[in-house]
Structure 1
Amino acid sequence: MTLPLDRHWKNVSSLLGVEGFYGVALSLISMVAVLPVFLSRLGATNTVIGALPVIWLLATNFPGAFAAHFTGGLAHRKRAVIILHLLAGIPWLFLAAWFGILGRPSGAVDILALLIGWGASWIVMGFTIPVWINFIAKVTRPELRARTFGTIFFFQTLMGAIGGWVGSRLLGSSLPFPLNYALGFLVAGICMSIGSFFFLPVREDAGGTTKPSPAFATVLRYTREILADRTGLRVYLTVLLLSVGRFMLITYYPVFAESRFSLQPRDSAIYTSICMAGQMIGSVLVGTIGDRFGYSRVAVVAMAALTLGLSLAIWGSHPAFYYCTAFVLGIFIVSDVLALFNLSMAFSPHEDNTAYIGIIPAIVTPFTALVAGSSGAFIDRFGFIPIAWVGLAGAVVSLYLVIFRLPEPAYSLAGRRGTS
C-alpha cells in the first residue's frame, strides 16, 4: 500500500523537529574539529586523538550489525527509536557535569572520561542508526526516499550551522577552559532529549517482521549473503575501504591547521559550522541526484568531494583554504552518508533492510578503524602532509571505482528504470 502523500509530508515535518534539535547537538559534540581540538588542549597527542575515529567506527558499526536481530520482531519501531535517541544524550550530560562541576583531575583522566562518554553515546547511536533509517523508510514514500533524506539532512545541517555558531560563541567567550566546552556538552545533551519527543506525532503502519534466531548466526548469514553478492556490492565495499582518508579531514586536519595557521579554539567551531553549511547545500543537491539518476551517482559526488578536500588540505597554504576544506568536507559527509544508507537499502533484496544498513559498514570497520587510528601515530612521526597523500591516493582510486565500476543497484528507482 502506497503511503498517502499528505501523510508522507506530515511525517517528514515531525522528523524535521527531531533533526533540528539533533543538528544543534551534533555540531557541539562534533568529531569534525571540536572534539579533536578539545583533546589537543587537554594534552592529547595525535596518537591519542586517533582514538576518536577508532571508537566512532567500532561503536557505530558493530552494534548496528546486531540491530536487525534485536528489532526484527518489532512490527512497530517508533517506541524503540524514541528510547534509543533519549539514551544517546545521557553520556553528554555526564560529561557536562564532569568538566563543568567536578574538580579537575589529571589531564589523562580527563581524556579517558571524554573517550568513555563519547564511546558510550555512539554505541547507543550505532545501534540506533539502522533502526532509525529503516523507520524513516517505513514512514515515507519510497520514490521520494533520497529527497526525503536530503530534506532531513538539509534541516539537520541548517540547525547544525546555527549550533556551530553557538559553539564558536561559547568557545570564544570569557568562560574558562574547560567550562566553555562543558556548557556545549550540556546544551547538546538537552537538545538530544528534546528532539526525541518529535517522533511521537509520526504515524507508523505495521511493517514486516522476521523470526528470531541466534544473534551471531543472523549476522553471519547476512554477511555471507552480502559478500557473495555480484551485483556491485563488493565494489562498494572496496570504495568504503579505500576512502578511509576521510578521517584525515575530520579528525587530524583541524589540529594540523590550528598550528599551521595559528588558529584559536573558536575557529574549530567555525570549521564545524562551515562543514555543516556544506552538508546543508550538498543534501539538496545529492537528494535530487539520487532520485533522478540513482544512488551510485551520489557516491560519485562523495568521492569527488573527498578527493578535492584532501587536495585543499595538502596544497592550501592560506587560512582561507581551511574554511574551503570544511565546506567541501561537508559535501562529502552528506553525500557519503546518503550513498551508504540508500545503496545499502537498494542492494538489499529483503523488505526489512535493517541488516544490510548495519552490516555493510561493519564489514569494513576492522580495516578502517586500524588505518584511521594508526594514522595519528604516523602523523606524529612523519607529519600530516605525507599521510594525507596516502589518503588522497585512496580517494582517487575510489573515485575511479564509483564512476566506472559501480553499477546502479537493481532495487533503486534508477536501477529499475535502467532495466525496464
Structure 2
Amino acid sequence: MSHGHAEESSDDRERLLTGYSGRLLLVASLGWTAIQTGRLVLSPLLPTVMDELAITELQSGMAFSLLWGLYALGQFPSGRLSDALTRKTLLVAGLSLLAVGFSILATASGYSVFLLGAAVVGAGAGLYPTPARALVSDLFVERRGQAFGLHTASGDVGGATAAGLAVAVLAIATWRAAYIPVVAVVVFVALALHLWGRESYTLPQFDPESLADAASDTTDTARRLLGNRRLRWLLLAYSLYAFTWQSAAGFLPTFLQRAKDFPPGLASGGFAALFVVGALVKPLAGSLGDRFGRSRVAAAALALATLALAGILSVSGTALVAGGVVVFAAGLMAYPPVMQAFLMDAFPDGSMGGDLGATRTVYIGLGSLGTTYVGFVAGRASYTVAFAGLLACLLVSGAIVVWLARTGREAEPKG
C-alpha cells in the first residue's frame, strides 16, 4: 500500500519542527520517549518493587524478559503490517495497548498482575518503533538524516527521564505513581496521531492466501539470513551484546545498590549515565565508523566496555565505581550505531527493511534472556558474579567482530 497520503502539502514539506511533517515527527518522537521512559523506569524502581511485591531476583528478571521478549517478537510483523495497512493504524494500536499495560502496572498489587502489565506493555511497544521509523521515512527525504537523528535521540531522552522520574516518585509517592504521567503522555500521543495524521485506518484481512504469503515471506527471510555465513556471525555478535545491554538496562541500579552500596538516588544517576553518555557518543561513534572502519570501532567500543566493567567489579569507592559506569556507558553505547551500519552493509538492497526487522527480532529476543540470567545468578550467588559473567559475552562478541574484519571486507557483496 502506498503511503503517499501521509506526505505533506507543498507549503509545509519537510519542516522538522513545524508544519504537518514537523508535528508528526515531534509527536511520534514524544511517543517513543514515553515508551522508553515507561519501560526503563522499572530498572531504578526495581529494588523497591521487589521489596513491596515480595518477589525474587529471578522473578524480576523473568518479568523483564517477558516485556523485552514480546517487544522483540513485534519487530518483524509490525514492519510488514505497516506496509500492508497504514502507519497510523499500527501506531495508534500500539499506543492503545501501552496505555492499558502501563495502567495495569500502576495498579499492580501482586506478581501475577505485574507480569500481565509487563506482557501488555511489551506487546504494545513491539508495534511502535518500526512503523514510527517508516512514518519518518515517508515524511522526510531530503532531511531524513536529521529527522532520524531527532527521532532516535528521543529514546535516549526517555532513558534519562526514567532515572529522574524514579527518584522523584520514590521521594513523594509509591513506585506505581511513576506510570501515571507515562499513561497521560501515551494517551496524548495517540489522540494527536489520530487527529493530525492524514492516513485512514485499515483493518488486516486474514484470508488464507495472505497468511500463506506471510509464512512464505518469513521462511524466505530466515533462509536468506541464516544462509549467509557472515550474517550468522554478525547476528551472534550482536545477540551477545544485546544480552549484556538488557542485563545492564534491567539490573544496573539494583547492582549498584546491592553490590556497591550506592544510595537509590545515586544508583539512578548511574542508570541515567547510560543514556546521557549514549546520546553524546552515538553520533561520534557513527562518524568514526565511517572514517576508520565499522569493525575496528565496534571492537574498540566492546574492549572499552569490557575493561570498564572489569574495573567496576574490582574496585570499591563511590567515585571510582561512578567513573567506571561512565566509561562502561561510553563503550556500550558506541557499539549499536556502528554495528547497525555494519549489518545494513551486509543486507541485500531489495530486502533490507524486512531483514532489519527480522534481525532485530532475533538479537533483541535473545538479549531479553539476559535479565533472567542475572536474576537467577544473583539469587543463587551474587550480583557481582552475575555481572562478571557479562564480561564473557563482551569478550566473545568483540572477538567475533575482529575475526570478521580479518577474514573479509567490511561487508558481504550485496545481491
Superposition TM-score, scaled by structure 1 size? 0.76
Whether the 8 Å CA contact 2:14–2:143 is kept in 1: the answer is no
Q: Against the structure 1 CA distance between its residues 128 and 26, is the aligned structure 2 distance closer, same or farther, given a 3 Å change threshold?
A: closer
- Asked whether 1:358 is paired with 2:360, we answer no
What residue in structure 2 maps to residue 47 of structure 1? 58
What residue in structure 2 maps to residue 172 of structure 1? 171
What residue in structure 1 maps to residue 14 of structure 2? 7
**Aligned pair count?**
388
How many Å apart are 1:123 and its aligned residue? 1.4
Q: Against the structure 1 CA distance between its residues 22 and 64, is the aligned structure 2 distance closer, same or farther, given a 3 Å change threshold?
A: closer
Q: Comparing 80-89 with 154-163, which one deviates more in the overlay? A: 154-163
- Give the Cα–Cα distance (whole angstroms) in 2 for the partners of residues 249 and 59 of structure 1: 19
- Give the Cα–Cα distance (whole angstroms) in 2 for the partners of residues 94 and 32 of structure 1: 14
- Asked whether 1:91 is paired with 2:101, we answer yes
What residue in structure 2 maps to residue 238 of structure 1? 236
- Give the Cα–Cα distance (whole angstroms) in 2 for the partners of residues 295 and 144 of structure 1: 22
- Give the Cα–Cα distance (whole angstroms) in 2 for the partners of residues 81 and 281 of structure 1: 28
- Give the Cα–Cα distance (whole angstroms) in 2 for the partners of residues 130 and 95 of structure 1: 24
Whether the 8 Å CA contact 2:313–2:388 is kept in 1: the answer is yes
Equivalences for residues 38-187 of structure 1 within 5 A: 38-42=48-52, 43-74=54-85, 76-96=86-106, 98-99=107-108, 105=109, 110-141=110-141, 145=145, 148-158=147-157, 160-173=159-172, 175=173, 180-187=174-181
How many Å apart are 1:168 and its aligned residue? 1.3
- Asked whether 1:34 is paired with 2:36, we answer no
- Give the Cα–Cα distance (whole angstroms) in 1 for the partners of residues 290 and 24 of structure 2: 22
Whether the 8 Å CA contact 1:17–1:198 is kept in 2: the answer is yes
What residue in structure 1 maps to residue 410 of structure 2? 408
Superposition TM-score, scaled by structure 2 size? 0.77
Q: Against the structure 1 CA distance between its residues 385 and 263, is the aligned structure 2 distance closer, same or farther, given a 3 Å change threshold?
A: closer
How many Å apart are 1:360 and its aligned residue? 1.0
- Say which SS state the counterpart of residue 44 (structure 1) adopts: coil
Q: Give the % identical residues.
A: 17
Whether the 8 Å CA contact 2:45–2:166 is kept in 1: the answer is no
Whether the 8 Å CA contact 1:27–1:272 is kept in 2: the answer is no
Aligned-CA RMSD value: 3.8
Whether the 8 Å CA contact 1:245–1:395 is kept in 2: the answer is yes
What residue in structure 1 maps to residue 383 of structure 2? 384
Q: Which has the higher contact order (CA 8 A, sep 6+)?
A: 1
Q: Against the structure 1 CA distance between its residues 194 and 339, is the aligned structure 2 distance closer, same or farther, given a 3 Å change threshold?
A: farther
| Residue deviations 1:370-419 (CA, integer Å, cap 9, x gap) | 554234222222323333333212212222333451553469xxx9xxxx
| Residue deviations 1:31-59 (CA, integer Å, cap 9, x gap) | 67324324322322221122134213421
What residue in structure 2 maps to residue 193 of structure 1? 187
| Residue deviations 1:73-96 (CA, integer Å, cap 9, x gap) | 24x524432432343232112322
Gaps of 5+ in 2: 200-208
| Residue deviations 1:243-263 (CA, integer Å, cap 9, x gap) | 223344222342232123434
How many Å apart are 1:326 and its aligned residue? 4.6
How many Å apart are 1:63 and its aligned residue? 2.5
- Give the Cα–Cα distance (whole angstroms) in 2 for the partners of residues 111 and 121 of structure 1: 15
Gaps of 5+ in 1: 100-104, 205-210, 416-420
Whether the 8 Å CA contact 1:154–1:283 is kept in 2: the answer is no
- Give the Cα–Cα distance (whole angstroms) in 2 for the partners of residues 345 and 135 of structure 1: 19
Amino acid across the alignment from 1:193: V
Whether the 8 Å CA contact 1:81–1:132 is kept in 2: the answer is yes
Whether the 8 Å CA contact 1:277–1:327 is kept in 2: the answer is no
